Amino acid sequence: MSPETAVAWHRKDLLGIAELDPDEIRLILDTAESFREIAERPIKKVPTLRGKTVINLFFEASTRTRSSFEIAEKWLSADSINFSSSSSALSKGETLIDTALNLQAMAPDLVVVRHEHPGVPHMLAKRLKAGVINAGDGAHEHPTQALLDAFTIRRRKGRIDGLKVAIVGDIEHSRVVRSNIHLLTKLGAEVRVAGPRTMMPVEVEKLGVVVAPTLEAALEDVDVVMMLRIQLERQSRQRLPSVKEYFQLYGLTARQLARAKEDVIVMHPGPMNRGVEISSEVADGPFSVILEQVEAGVAVRMAVLYLLVGARDGEAEA
Ligand code: CP
């Protein structure tokens, strides 16, 4: 496994989409394309990262991101360990940075980190020799989610440039939306956001998006709809009168979806709350690519691991 373009990657860490240029984003997507077929092999294993060590540090719950990083590491033959904050010395008062420096002393090549506080991956990247991958930091960024979303869109639509994309829901508290806005606008998509005013960041237009006044306006003639969960865990006060009212105003139903293009695709990063932001008829319906997103997650994370470790030091086996 030796993507020709890998020589162009020079970063030690993947902390966010904001700092990537379009060529770097395309490089990750093209590299993921070359890893995708491994999922179809009877023996899903390549020696690309043999002898490399990855530590998965998840301080917040995860199903998709954590599992797909673990699978990607195993398929690339890396040695990986999963750090659990509840059973670690953090529960005895050790600081995060001391924990990280102790883990660094065991010479990992990469650390994958998810944390509730924005900036934790950046802080670790400054202190650790290992490369750091941001697997979600508070409401800031979730770069590998945006990359797998772009990978899914590109496979379905053949391009990102010129597409109309609606992102609907809790815009303010979503790290997925921030990474997606950076990525989609860098690659030339037209992005609209919609959601309750209590969940819309002030001056979000400065990120290069248009705020649609209603769900109906957001859906008009779009190629892609991305629905978001309400991030109750990041809200200090109630932002909604009721879930029922939210679904009436912003829940995606088949009737609402009819406003979009005939070949629209419906996305959701998960976890999904059926009957809150999306109806089951849409989530399980013919336009949904939600499980394709999950599938793309493994290929994209293999690409990121490969580029950061394999291509960076030039030691990985082809
Ligand atoms: N999309 C996403 O980050 O899902 P998890 O929280 O399950 O990892």
Which tens digit of pLDDT belongs to each residue from 215-262?
999 999 999 999 999 876 766 667 676 889 999 999 999 999 999 999
Residue among 209, 206, 177 at smallest CA distance from 191: 209
pLDDT band at 89 (very low <50, low <70, confident <90, very high): confident
pLDDT band at 316 (very low <50, low <70, confident <90, very high): very low
Q: State yes or no: pLDDT of 169 exceeds 80.
A: yes
Cα 287 to averaged position of ligand 1 atoms, centre (Å): 21
Q: How many CA atoms lie within 13 A of 276 on its CB side?
A: 17
Instruction: Specify which residues 111 forms β-bridges with.
Output: 55, 132
CA 108/CA 102 separation, integer angstroms: 11
Cα 63 to averaged position of ligand 1 atoms, centre (Å): 6
Cα 318 to averaged position of ligand 1 atoms, centre (Å): 30
pLDDT one-digit tens code per residue, 3-23: 544 447 889 999 999 999 999
Q: State yes or no: pLDDT of 72 exceeds 50.
A: yes
Cα 60 to averaged position of ligand 1 atoms, centre (Å): 10
∠ CA(50), CA(79), CA(138), 5° rounding? 120
The pair of three-digit structure tokens given for residue 229, joined into one six-digit string: 């969960």
Q: What is the mean pLDDT of residues 192-218?
A: 96
Rounded CA Rg of the chain: 19
pLDDT computed for residue 237 by the predictor: 67
CA 181 to mean position of chain CA atoms: 12
Cα 301 to averaged position of ligand 1 atoms, centre (Å): 13
User: Does residue 65 have its Cβ closer than 6 Å to ligand 1?
Assistant: yes
CA 178/CA 159 separation, integer angstroms: 20
Burial code of 175-195, b = ≥16 C-beta within 10 A, e = fewer? bbbbbbbbbbbbbebbbbbbb
CA 34 to mean position of chain CA atoms: 19
pLDDT computed for residue 314 by the predictor: 58
Counting Cβ atoms within 10 Å, is residue 122 exposed (0-12), middle (13-18) or buried (19+)? middle
User: Does residue 297 have its Cβ closer than 6 Å to ligand 1?
Assistant: no
pLDDT computed for residue 6 by the predictor: 45
Cα 180 to averaged position of ligand 1 atoms, centre (Å): 14
For ligand 1, atom 3: residue with the closest CA:
65
How many CB atoms within 10 Å of residue 238? 9
**DSSP per-residue codes, 86-114:** GGSGGGGT--HHHHHHHHHTT--SEEEEE
pLDDT one-digit tens code per residue, 130-140: 999 999 999 99
The pair of three-digit structure tokens given for residue 73, joined into one six-digit string: 């590491």
Pairing of strands 224-227, 265-267: parallel
CA dihedral of 109, 296, 134, 130, whole degrees rounded to 10: 10
How many CB atoms within 10 Å of residue 92? 6
User: Does residue 273 have its Cβ closer than 6 Å to ligand 1?
Assistant: no
pLDDT band at 318 (very low <50, low <70, confident <90, very high): very low
Average pLDDT, the chain: 92
For ligand 1, atom 5: residue with the closest CA:
62
Instruction: Specify which residues 83 forms β-bridges with.
Output: 57
Q: Whole-angstrom distance between the N-terminal and C-terminal Cα of the chain? A: 5
CB 224 within 8 A of CB 193: no
User: Does residue 143 have its Cβ closer than 6 Å to ligand 1?
Assistant: no
How many CB atoms within 10 Å of residue 151? 24
Amino acid (one-letter) located at 245? E
Q: State yes or no: pLDDT of 69 exceeds 80.
A: yes
Q: What is the mean pLDDT of residues 268-286?
A: 96
